[in-house]
A = this chain, B = another copy of it.
Amino acid sequence: MHPRMTELKARLRDTYDLDMTASLLQWDQTTYMPPGGAEARGRQLALLGRLAHESRTHADIGRWLEELREHERELPYDSDDAGLLRVTRRSFERATRVPLDLVSEFQHHASASYQAWTEARPAGDFARMVPMLERTLDLSRRWAQCFPGYESIADPLIDAQDFGMKASTVRTLFADLRAALVPLVRAIGDRPRHETSCLRQAVPEVAQQRFAVDVIRRFGYDFERGRLDRTHHPFMTKFSLGDVRITTKYRLDDVSFALFSTLHEAGHALYEQGIAAEYEGTPLAHGTSAGVHESQSRLWENLVGRSRGFWGFFYPRLQAEMPGFRDVPLDTFYRAINSVQPSLIRIEADEVTYNLHVMLRFDFELDLLEGRLAVRDLAEAWRARIRSDFGLEVPNDRDGALQDVHWFGANIGGVFQGYTLGNIMSAQLFEAAGRHHPGIPDEMGQGEFGQLRGWLRENVHRHGSKFTASEIIERATGGPLSIEPYMRYLWGKYGPLYGVREPEAASATR
């Protein structure tokens, strides 16, 4: 090994460990920290953020990267060290362009804004958040301006989450997807609604947990290297490749919420737990993009967890754990968890309309950043869009523009497209896995997931950040990102479920 590589890796390990330590501070803040700890915790997170930034942007790293250019050229593209150098270079260049002052300003503002939102949201008080959001927008623009040469000011923000993507590519992709989705949403809208009342029953938390744990163990989530806790909002976090934790929230009147959020977070966690152990402590030891990460969570949540085959095996187990379901036929349950219906809240939306929620947010992010929409007009624009997209009235901004934490945690731009990119990728990857392992559906019907997990681990997980999202998709599926498998999946599933058929003109093109 090039001697500089050793020094570089040691330095990168410190940066990594500072990031991981900050993640533990955050995890504790949302799980177990008593209220009295909040003030100091904010200070401690700011300190760790500063130290990580200093470590990430240290002049040594720039010098070593220069010294290693020659060495990098000699390495095969897909060698680990070449990947490490690519990712480190990218991260160093990004981090060094942003002044530390702006980073700290962002961090402090994010705390203040989040704090205000926790009160403004329940009160439906959008006006209170206007100045906060204006400041976030200003800071986000200043952040983006550190990366001149963009087409859209949103590009640097999108690129930071989904490397290689920009506003124009996402916009085109989303326009195509929207055109393909609308006929499906309309066709379903003309059909009788699925009955979902069976899900609204009180199931004790312990039973919900036991069942969800049984499922994710079978998925392959490793509790020796993880754990499941309760938080207000479910999430996945990690403190090393050996410690990848998930959280969920139990709703006592809706068993599906904790269940699917647990499967979702377990999907994220399987990605991180599946990264090659030798990447530990390096920038390769993370999922490669927001989109690919979301493809893993959505794949396990939806393509597996809401499939008929899956429930053929698990429904009797659920009934054994939750006696209230003993009189509910599998088919009723299956239709309930796959009910498509326009709704106000993104995180409760079904697979089909979910993407329209994302597109709305993505469009507004561009409108805000590119100056076509003023923050003060956002809540009204939101209501208008929900009216036109879903035919629904937003009764309260709590369930409108205030609903998602992202913007109010000072993230505007680049934070929503990954959800829909993930949906698109999830189907493309699942289809490719099925081509390589035709036995996957049979396995799923027996509560086994070895082939699917193995294929994902081999083709997606183990690489961590070594390859970009498009490289992963190309290598794993043999072609570029495409909405076709996703639309095939949706029509294939919801066509029979709702007794609707794809217009011939559309299916003919695929």
A interface residues (Cβ-Cβ under 8 A, vs B): 13-14, 17-18, 20-21, 24-25, 28, 32-41, 43-44, 47-48, 51, 222-227, 229, 239-243, 245, 280-281
Which of A18, A41, A241 has most chain B Cβ within 10 Å? A41
List chain B residues, Cβ under 8 A from A13: 43
B17 touching A240 by the CB < 8 A rule? Answer: no
Number of copies: 2
B36 touching A243 by the CB < 8 A rule? Answer: yes
Would you list the 9 A-B pairs with minimal beta carbon distance, nearest first? A40-B240, A37-B243, A36-B225, A36-B242, A17-B44, A17-B47, A36-B224, A37-B242, A35-B224
Cα distance A159–B47 in the bound complex, in angstroms: 31
B18 touching A47 by the CB < 8 A rule? Answer: yes
Q: Which chain B residue shows the least CB distance to A239? A: B37
Cα distance A229–B14 in the bound complex, in angstroms: 30
B34 touching A25 by the CB < 8 A rule? Answer: no
B280 touching A34 by the CB < 8 A rule? Answer: no
Partner of A40, one of B25, B32, B239: B239
Question: Helix, strand, loop or mixed for chain A's interface?
Answer: helix
List chain B residues, Cβ under 8 A from A28: 24, 28
List chain B residues, Cβ under 8 A from A37: 225, 239-240, 242-243
A240 touching B41 by the CB < 8 A rule? Answer: yes
A40 touching B24 by the CB < 8 A rule? Answer: no
CB distance from A134 to the nearest CB of B (A): 30
CB distance from A284 to the nearest CB of B (A): 15
List chain B residues, Cβ under 8 A from A223: 34
Q: Which chain B residue shows the least CB distance to A223? A: B34
Cα distance A48–B243 in the bound complex, in angstroms: 18
CB distance from A149 to the nearest CB of B (A): 36
Q: Given that A47-B14, A51-B51 are contacting pairs, would A32 and B227 also be in contact in the complex, using a CB cutoff of 8 Å?
A: yes
A44 touching B32 by the CB < 8 A rule? Answer: no
B17 touching A239 by the CB < 8 A rule? Answer: no
A280 touching B40 by the CB < 8 A rule? Answer: yes
Q: Which chain B residue shows the least CB distance to A50? A: B14
Which of A40, A222, A239 has most chain B Cβ within 10 Å? A40
List chain B residues, Cβ under 8 A from A18: 47
B34 touching A243 by the CB < 8 A rule? Answer: yes
Partner of A21, one of B44, B222, B227: B44
Q: Which chain B residue shows the least CB distance to A280? A: B40
CB distance from A109 to the nearest CB of B (A): 20
Cα distance A469–B28 in the bound complex, in angstroms: 34
CB distance from A314 to the nearest CB of B (A): 25
Cα distance A227–B35 in the bound complex, in angstroms: 10
CB-defined A-B contacts under 8 Å, sample of 29? A14-B47, A17-B43, A17-B44, A17-B47, A21-B44, A21-B47, A24-B24, A24-B25, A24-B28, A32-B32, A32-B229, A34-B225, A34-B227, A34-B242, A34-B243, A35-B225, A37-B225, A37-B239, A37-B240, A37-B242, A39-B240, A40-B239, A40-B240, A40-B241, A40-B243, A41-B240, A41-B243, A44-B239, A44-B240
